[in-house]
Copies of this chain bind each other. A is one copy, B any other.
């Protein structure tokens, strides 16, 4: 906070890490997103929502619970659900116990979508990331992720 007269610019090694960081995520994610879209007609956001709902009993969940589990803002989830609802892969339902509340439910189309998409998606993730890296590199990624998660106080470890 003191107006540093000399900012601590990055060393070369730090720059390498920073540039790698900036580049690799868009690079890999764009490939995986492209595959997902072509193979299954889904966006990554669609897939994330579907995969969570696909593994709950009744294929349904309270909207606020879903948002919290995914660490999405309510607003973001609401917009996303609106788009997904228009395409018929999820449906909103009022909940009896709380006049304000609502649930999302997978439609049959939605169940089929995630069932069909999952194997292809795994292959894509392998092809563009997992199978490219050595076990040591994968472990390093997991470790860095762990450090950062702690740093940012994102407690939960569960699945996506």
Known interface pairs A10-B130, A144-B133; A17-B139 also in contact (CB < 8 Å): yes
- Interchain CB contact under 8 A, B7 and A123: yes
- Interchain CB contact under 8 A, A19 and B145: yes
- Interchain CB contact under 8 A, A17 and B141: yes
Q: Which residues of B contact A139 (CB under 8 A)?
A: 13, 17
Copies in the complex: 2
- Write the A2-37 contact mask toward B (1 if CB under 8 angstroms, else 0): 001001111001111111111111011001000000
Q: Does A135 contact B (CB under 8 A)?
A: yes
Closest to A126 in B: B8
- Interchain CB contact under 8 A, B147 and A8: no
Inter-chain CA distance A159–B23, complex, in Å, is 11
Dominant secondary structure of chain A at its interface with chain B: helix
- Interchain CB contact under 8 A, B159 and A24: no
**Size category, A interface:** 35 or more
Nearest 6 A-B pairs (CB), nearest first? A20-B145, A7-B119, A140-B140, A17-B138, A16-B142, A25-B25
- Write the A88-126 contact mask toward B (1 if CB under 8 angstroms, else 0): 000000000000000000000000000000110011011
